[in-house]
Amino acid sequence: MSISTSGPRLRRTGAAAAAVLALAGLAACSTDSTTPAASATTSATDDAPAAFPTTIDHAFGATTIEAQPTRVAAISWANQDSAIALGVVPVAMPFASYGGDENGYLPWTLAGLEALGEERPELFSDTDGIPFEDVAGLTPEVILGTYSGITQEEYDQLTKIAPTVAYPEDAWGADWKDQLTYTGQALGKTAEAETLRADIEQQLADVVAGAPEIQGKTFAYLSFSSADPSSVFYYTVEDSRVEFVESLGLESSPKIVELSEGNEEFFGTLSAEVVDEIDADIVFAYVDSAEHLEAVKADPLLGSIPAIKNDAVVMLDDPTFILSTSAPSPLSIPWAIDQYVPLIQDAAANIK
């Protein structure tokens, strides 16, 4: 797989946006956090069939699912995680070419599958776009694309295969709660989805309560390119990775809030000459490596960002960990939070 060094990290367009990070191949992070799927039911509830037919509104209209599906296909990042967390093993899901292991699984997804037994999905490559024929060949009864950037044309093609659930409003705009809600409705597992959401929210609340020193601190999510040091990318307040940090008690910096107004994309570009206007206590920094971060700090312009100057930085250079926090899902959040919060605490200790 070719990794580009240009553009914002995790550019979420086209084929699940698999290739946009220029990152060192560091070992995947590990954690003892229990995945929600370990306690999720593996069969439909007794009253689940009564939930059908069900109609789900989304960006491309409405999708009606006539009966409880047993064959579920997931496209793009994260969609499989909600199904697995609710006890359903998809018949098809993307090969995780970014951040995954040699078999194409992300660690939290694999843990969720292992908790459900021996069954495994068919993995397909979406590097060059959705493989419609491959998906169709697995005869799914519903296709999950709540967290995706599919176009109207792609949606129309998918609906010829099976009822397809797209994102609520904006491409790549569904947070983990939306993903869980839509998937729960599509699978006839609304009650389980609500219970799981409450469990994850409690986990987040417990983490927040244990880290009072980061509460109310302002932050900016930035991406630095070694190929083009003159440009810096920021992520808007509508982006899922930003919303995840806010769920930990931090607040987007006023400058990021200002820049986000009227920006319909999930990211924007800053010239290096104005980066010192990023008035954040902490910077979350996508970089290629620790050496790249040192080069950013030494740069006369980039190093003038107050949080960079103070070394109040959460360095993000590991593909697996990046994906767990950039595309947060009901499985990746419990996997990530015990690692994420200490990194934020370390950065907060350097605020001046």
Question: Could you tell me whether strands 164-165 and 142-144 are parallel, antiparallel, or unpaired per DSSP bridges?
Answer: parallel
pLDDT for the residue 47: 54
Q: How many Å apart are CA 331 and CA 162, to the nearest integer? A: 25
Q: Residue 237 is encoded by which pair of tokens? A: 């307040």
- What are the chain's domains? 36-207 (3.40.50.1980), 211-348 (3.40.50.1980)
Structure confidence at residue 171 (pLDDT): 87
**What are the tens digits of pLDDT across the range 132-152?**
999 999 999 999 999 999 999
Closest to 235 in 3D by CA, of 226, 246, 227: 246
**Residue 190 to residue 182: CA distance in whole angstroms:** 9
Q: State the average pLDDT for the chain.
A: 86
Q: Quote the pLDDT of residue 26.
A: 23
Q: 238 pLDDT exceeds 70?
A: yes
What is the average pLDDT across 99-121? Answer: 96
Do 179 and 40 form a contact (C-beta atoms < 8 A)? no
Query: Would the pLDDT of 40 be above 50?
Result: no
Provide the 3-class DSSP secondary structure of residue 261. coil
Reduced to 3 states (helix: H, G, I; strand: E, B; else coil), residue 169 is: coil
What band does 3 get if pLDDT is binned at 50, 70 and 90?
very low
pLDDT of res. 210: 95
- More confident position, 270 or 222: 222
Read off the pLDDT of residues 289-310 as tens digits, 9 standing for 90 and up: 999 999 999 999 999 999 999 9
Q: Does residue 334 surpass a pLDDT of 80?
A: yes
CA distance 301 to 272: 6
Q: What's the predicted TM-score (pTM) here?
A: 0.84
Integer Cα distance of 248 and 242 in angstroms = 10
Q: Is the pLDDT of residue 29 over 50?
A: no
Measured CA to CA, the distance from residue 351 to residue 308 in angstroms comes to: 10
